[in-house]
Structure 1
Amino acid sequence: MSKFMVRHALVAAWLCTCSAGFLAAQDSLSELYGRGVHAFNSHNYTKAYEYLSWAVAQDSPDPRVYYFRAMALERLGRPYEAEDDYKKAAMLEAEGDGQYNVGMALQRVQGGARLKIESARSDARLQVLRDGRRKVKTRADRIDELDQEALRGSASPSTPPRTAPQDNTDPFGGGGATEPMPAPMPEAPVTPPAGADPFGGGAAPATPPAGADPFGGGAAPATPPAGADPFGGGAAPATPPAGADPFGGGAA
């Protein structure tokens, strides 16, 4: 027989043992519950409380156990403890899957005990409904948070930006340059002043004044006054008065 088959056989045996133990425990809990109900119906409330308490000590999930123990406690004059059992039984019933026939077990219960049971059942159903709504709201809020995180994640880059490699030729020892330095602009040539000799000679002579002899002669003589003799003679005689003898004679 291979090791695999041996291991499989051991696991199967262990599961059978656990199942047998679970069934035995269930049978034990069912038996304790049955004896407790029989003692309660026989008005032996102390014995009913003992049987049902043994079932509670073994973590019985049966709400009927707590209902009947609560009624036994009320008969024994312990109403505060009975109230706790009513609440526990109603919560187990509201949260359970309905595998226990609670309605059939309680059909003979009447009076004040019945009113307390129905009140506890109503409160438990409301509490379960509130808890369910709270869970649904919490789940919806969590889904919204995940959606917002997904949107923020898609908007931001998934990888950090690339860094330029370090330039080892940088004389200042800095990291890689983000862009090359621009080349220096050539200096513009100096424009010589107006009139300067571009070949190194002196300044051009100033323009001679109007009327000056360009060949170095003196200034031209001024224009002679009107009536002057251009040949150097004296001034022309004045015009003789009217009636005077032009030949030197006296007045007529």
Structure 2
Amino acid sequence: MKLRFNLILNLVVGLVAIAATAPATTVQAQSAILSEIYGRGVHAYNAGRYDKASEWLSMAITNGFQDPRAYYFRGLAAAASGRAQEAKTDFQQGAEIEARGAFGDIVGRSLARIQGPTRIELEDAREAARLKALALGVSRSQARYGELGVPAAGAAPNNATAATPRKVMPPAAPPVDDPFADDMGGDPVVESNDMLEGAMDNSILGDDGGAATPEPTESSNPFDSGPSDDPFGGGGAMDDPFGGF
């Protein structure tokens, strides 16, 4: 087994040496071999063979396998073997590679089976690396803005003075005449506070309180025009036109 491991190691080293002057197809072949070595290291870790997992994963990392998962699983193997400091170092190195790259959710899926305090330590390293990368990106952006002479978001322009500009107040609006104002001035005149005053006065009477119109008499009845005015009258009962027959 030791001889087989050394043969594979020599093969990988030879491929890496050729990759510097080889075409792209050879580089892809070398990447496939390193991925295979990484996969063997992960299988060895899942099987509880932590020393063998460290050997396979170290081989992939030494030959240029830039995948944070190789560092994570090598750190997990070191933690399972009681090498806490080595595990912490691998977690930090893998987190820095992950924060600089674009690996998507492939890392999370690979670590789904890992639980417990060691996983918490690993996640702390990943979060710290992300925050560090974010702060570095902001710092570089501000430096780039400074080189271009453009103020960064939320920053004051370079030629801005510390003095606060004087606020210009708009002119006051001209006075408007009150259309309901009394042209004659003075207080308004209230003739009477009693709204019903004079409402019951007889409109027929004069101001001197004269007598009312006299009651009508019998002779003044407009409907009494005398006997001769009755169209059905004819001088009494003897004038019956049906009499005499």
Q: TM-score, normalising length from structure 1? A: 0.50
Out of 103, 109, 116, which is 2:108 matched to? 103
Of 117, 123, 141, which aligns to 1:118? Answer: 123
CA distance in 2: counterparts of 1:17 and 1:93, whole angstroms? 28
- TM-fit CA distance, 1:99: 5.7
Residue 59 of structure 1 aligns to a residue whose secondary structure is: coil
In the superposition, relative to structure 1, how do residues 26 and 99 fare at CA in structure 2: closer, same or farther (>3 Å)?
farther
Instruction: Kindly report structure 1 stretches of 4+ aligned residues shifted beyond 4 Å.
Output: none
Structure 1, 88-97 or 106-115: larger mean CA deviation:
88-97
- Structure 1 letter corresponding to 2:147: R
Give the superposition deviation at 1:132: 0.2
Match of 1:10 in 2: none
In structure 1, distance between residues paired with 2:32 and 2:64: 14
1:47 pairs with 2:52: yes
- What amino acid sits opposite 2:100 in the alignment? E
2:82 is aligned to 77
1:62–1:100: 8 Å Cα contact kept in structure 2?
A: no
* 1:143 alignment partner AA: L
Name the counterpart of 2:70.
65
User: In terms of mean alpha carbon deviation, does 23-32 or 91-100 score higher?
Assistant: 91-100
Q: Which of 34, 38, 42 matches 1:37?
A: 42
- The letter of the residue matching 2:70 is V
C-alpha distance in structure 1 between counterparts of 2:25 and 2:43, whole Å: 27
The size of the alignment, in residue pairs, is 132
Task: Give deviations 1:68-121, integer Å, cap 9, x for gaps.
Answer: 000001122211111011011111111111267101100000001110111011
* Separation of aligned partners in 1, 2:110 and 2:104: 13
Provide the aligned C-alpha RMSD in A: 2.2
Give the structure 1 partner of residue 227 of structure 2.
none
The Cα offsets for residues 159-204 of structure 1, whole Å up to 9 and x where unpaired, read as xxxxxxxxxxxxxxxxxxxxxxxxxxxxxxxxxxxxxxxxxxxxxx
Distance 1:23 1:99, change over 3 A: farther
Deviations 1:6-51 (A, max 9, x none): xxxxxxxx9x951121111111111011000000001000000000
Give 1:142 shift. Answer: 1.0
Q: CA separation in 1, counterparts of 2:80 and 2:30?
A: 29
Q: Normalising to structure 2: TM-score of the pair?
A: 0.51
Q: Which has the higher contact order (CA 8 A, sep 6+)?
A: 2
Query: Which of 89, 94, 101 does residue 94 from structure 2 map onto?
Result: 89
> C-alpha distance in 2, partners of 1:98/1:63?
9
- Structure ID, larger Rg: 1
Give the partner amino acid of 1:132: G
